[in-house]
Structure formats: C-alpha cells, structure tokens
Structure 1
Amino acid sequence: MSDFESLSSISGDKELQEFLMMEKQKAQVNAQIHEFNDICWDKCISKPGSKLDSSTETCLSNCVDRFIDTSLLVTQRFAQLLQKRAGDL
C-alpha cells in the first residue's frame, strides 16, 4: 500500500467516525426531546381529550422549552470547562 493510499484510508476512517459521532449525537438529542415530552405530558395533561385547550398547550410548550434551554445551558457550560481545561494543559 502506498503512502497516498494509507492517508486516504485514514481520512476516510476519520470522516466515517465523525459521521457516526454526529448521528449518535442526533439520536441522543431526539431521545432527550422525547423524554422531555413525556415529562411535560405528565405535568401538563390532567385528562386527555380530543384537543388541547390553550392553557394546556402553553404549559406543554413552556415546559419543553425550559428543558431544552436548561440542557443547552448545561452543555455550553461543560464545553466552556473543557476548553478552559484544555487551555490549562
């Protein structure tokens, strides 16, 4: 195998790993959103009906939005800590 072929193989492996990592992250986000929806459903829905009233709809929307905001805040904070730690090394 030539050096060029080795580099191409390594590059392809790296791209595959990045793709797989991104797909895993998408799956984690989707799973998290489903979990938020379940929690908010239990919190906001007292009795299921044929349609949602405005207060229930608002409760669901606000509940999911707060979970997503909190999740993003925690993720950003961890990213900041990792960057700071990497800079200290």
Structure 2
Amino acid sequence: MDEVRQQLAVANAQQLLQKMTDKCFNKCITKPGSDLSGSDRACLAKCMDRYLESWNVISKAYATRVQKDAESGGHHHSPSEKSHHLGSVHTADRGLLVVAQTDSRSL
C-alpha cells in the first residue's frame, strides 16, 4: 500500500511540474531562441515561485477541509480520494524541486 501511495505522490509531482513548465514557458518565453535572456530567467523564476506557492496554499486548504470532514463524520471520501497524497513543494536554486508527502489522514 505504501508503494502505491509513493507512486501516486510521484505522479502528482510530475503532473505539477509539467503544468508549471507549460504555463510558465508560455507566459515568459515570447521569443524562443538558443539562450534565455535575463528578463526570461527572471520571469520564469517568479512564475515558478508563484505557481508553487499557490499549490502549497491550495494543498493545505484541501488537507484542512478533509481533516475537518473526517472529524465531523461529514463527507465520505471515495477510495481514490483517501489514497491521494498532497504534496508540499518547495524550490531551491530554481532547478530542484523537493516534494514532501503529506497523508491527509495524518494532519
């Protein structure tokens, strides 16, 4: 079961990275070439930081809601929701992503 959770967390992180790459590239790179300009790099860095910050805010809010629902005996989550992991994502050196797995049941 832990292996499945790890695979879900990896798939989730890969999807996050792909979406962030697509959105930030489309927003920041207006004239693709062989090199990135300083303004391209700055735009990409800001875009990535904002995207990851937003992801973390949404993930924490979702985990809080799931916890409150579980405590109140309210909403019953489907099996796929129960096994879904939220990740807290941080940037370091603008190239390395660190994903910390969070099981919503442990919050």
Asked if these proteins are the same fold (TM beyond 0.5), I'd say yes
Q: TM-score, normalised by structure 2?
A: 0.63
* Alpha-carbon shift at residue 76 of structure 1 (Å): 0.5
Which residue number in structure 2 is paired with residue 25 of structure 1? 9
Comparing both chains, which one has the higher relative contact order based on Cα–Cα distances under 8 Å and sequence gaps of 6 or more?
2
Hey, what's the Cα distance between the residues in 1 that align with 2:18 and 2:70? 33
Q: Highest CA radius of gyration, 1 or 2?
A: 1
Hey, what's the Cα distance between the residues in 1 that align with 2:28 and 2:53? 18
Hey, what's the Cα distance between the residues in 2 that align with 1:61 and 1:37? 11
- Give the structure with the larger strand fraction: 2
Q: CA RMSD in A?
A: 1.1
- Residue segments in structure 2 that go unaligned for 5+ positions in a row: 74-107
Per-residue deviation, residues 54-74 of structure 1 (Å, max 9, x unmatched): 111010111111111111111
Q: TM-score, normalised by structure 1?
A: 0.74
Which residue number in structure 1 is paired with residue 45 of structure 2? 61
- Residue segments in structure 1 that go unaligned for 5+ positions in a row: 1-16
Which residue number in structure 1 is paired with residue 80 of structure 2? none
Aligned residue-pair number: 73
